[in-house]
Amino acid sequence: MKITLSFEKTQTKDTSIMVDALRASTTITLALNNFNEIIPCFTPEEAFELKKEINGIIAGERSGKRVEGFDVGNSPKDVENYDTDIETLILTTSNGTRILKDMDSTVLVGSMVNAKAVGYKSVEIAENEIDVVMAGYKGNFALEDFLAAGEILYWICDRLNNECEISDYAKAAIMASRDYDALKEGFYNCNSGRKLSRLKSKKDIDCCVLKNISENVAIYENNILKLIKD
């Protein structure tokens, strides 16, 4: 099995894991406790248009702030706990949803909260290649995505008993993510973390940095995110 790490664009047509650790990937993963399906939209306008057609809750942010007129922001816990019987979530975020649309591989969604689950699941479904793709922030490297990717890559290698061909960049991410106390500090002190703290969304970081608290693995098919079937 070939294991790689990429930025923004995937390098495989086999299996990719999209990582936007603060916050889209975590929100998608935990939202599946509350909704049956998530439709990612790439603009707020698209989300509003879609809401006219289907019965859905709109969640999302732009530059870290809830979009005016949306039902809920992009806080993982707020979305997970949003009180509703509606089963469809319409989600728009800055980077994560934008990254999804360009992939023509099998796409899973990974974060710290489901790192082990998504790593193991990717090994089950991949033919011979898994590429972990960091969303980044506005076209720039984002530390939190690198660290969450490292944690996911660690579990991929674990599942394969380290019998895989792993790229130098993927190895680097695994090495950077081994010390969990340092990783947590990284989540709070990286560019995105400091921005969220300024926006008084520090509680979202508290949630996004939790390791392996969810077995949910979202798969992206036909423009919809759903729990992957066993």
Q: Would you tell me which residues interact with a second copy (CB under 8 A)?
A: 140-143, 146-147, 167-169, 171-173, 175-179, 182-183, 186, 189-191
> CA 126, 223, 209, 173 torsion: positive or negative?
positive
147 vs 228 by CB, closer to a second copy: 147
We find the least distance from the C-beta atom of residue 168 to a second copy, in angstroms, to be 4
Planar angle of CA 18, 21, 23, nearest 5 degrees = 110
82 vs 169 by CB, closer to a second copy: 169
89 vs 143 by CB, closer to a second copy: 143
- C-alpha closest to that of 212 among 112, 139, 145: 112
We find the least distance from the C-beta atom of residue 131 to a second copy, in angstroms, to be 14
- For 63, the 3-state DSSP assignment is coil
176 vs 224 by CB, closer to a second copy: 176
- For 182, the 3-state DSSP assignment is helix
We find the least distance from the C-beta atom of residue 183 to a second copy, in angstroms, to be 8
We find the least distance from the C-beta atom of residue 94 to a second copy, in angstroms, to be 16
How far is the CA of 138 from the CAs of 7, 30, 63, 133, 135, in angstroms? 12, 24, 10, 15, 9
